[in-house]
Amino acid sequence: MDLAQLQNRLGYQFRNQELLRQALTHRSHSGQHNERLEFLGDSVLNCAIASLLYERYNAQDEGDLSRLRANLVKQQSLYEIAQSIELSQYLRLGEGELKSGGFRRPSILADTFEALLGAIFLDADFATVCRVIHSFYIPRLQSVDPATLGKDAKTLLQEFLQSKKIPLPQYQVVATHGAAHNQEFEIECIVPKLDIRVLGRGGSRRAGEQDAAKRALDAAREASAKAPGGNKRPRRATQLKLLGIATVQSDAPAPKPESKN
């Protein structure tokens, strides 16, 4: 296995190549696997990201910084970074994991990336691994809004409506589909003042509410942008209540009454 390209993508050349190979080794492959390195890398990553956020966002309080860090170090974020360096082609997996597609599994890829960070820390020092971490995260932070990153759709919708002095949305279960062990919930989100009614779906009531809230937020922002002055109540609108679609359209002028003969 040629690991030169991986090291180029990481921006770090290992002095101890055996340490690199161990970081890439899943427990299904051999006894000399990467779980201890993953444990170390997780701690290093959290510390490096905490330091980065502390320096970059000096106006954010502890709660916001904690939420930001949690979002940046979660499995999905690590998986996306692992995908960006094509880490899957370098994994050392056992036969069973290879057959079951373990090289595509987000948890394995995220854990392996953390193990690589732990290996870099041992091979060099904390300052070096911080530089590697920053090279992946600083570009991502360029497009991040620290006020919203990590907040769920229901929270964002609530904050948006409160900023416009609009009453909070209403959620209700419209229907459930499927067997009891595999149900899908259809949830309606209603914002009466903006004449918004949208439907969302999810594998749980919470997931359905989040989906509906996201669609309602998109519609509320669109309605607010179209309103005169950007913050006044829009004209009474016609709703198109379609699954997953919410639009706000101005009603056409009412036709003039026919003259009596």
State the Cα–Cα distance between residues 108 and 114, nearest whole angstrom.
10
**Could you write out the DSSP letters of every residue in 107-128?**
HHHHHHHHHHHHHHHHHS-HHH
Catalytic residue status for 114: yes
Cβ atoms within 10 Å, residue 26: 22
Provide the sign of the torsion angle of the four alpha carbons 115, 121, 122, 124, taken in this order. Answer: positive
* Catalytic-role residue among 38, 114, 188, 211: 114
Total count of residues recorded for the chain = 261
Taking each helix axis as running N to C, give the angle between helix 106-123 and helix 35-56, from 0 to 180 degrees, rounded to the nearest 10: 80
State the Cα–Cα distance between residues 1 and 21, nearest whole angstrom.
10
State the Cα–Cα distance between residues 215 and 196, nearest whole angstrom.
10
Catalytic residue status for 42: yes
State the Cα–Cα distance between residues 150 and 77, nearest whole angstrom.
11
* Catalytic-role residue among 42, 111, 123, 211: 42
Q: Residue 70: which of 143, 149, 154, 155 has the closest Cα?
A: 149
Sheet holding 184-191, edge to edge: 170-177, 184-191, 196-202
Active site residue ranges? 42, 114
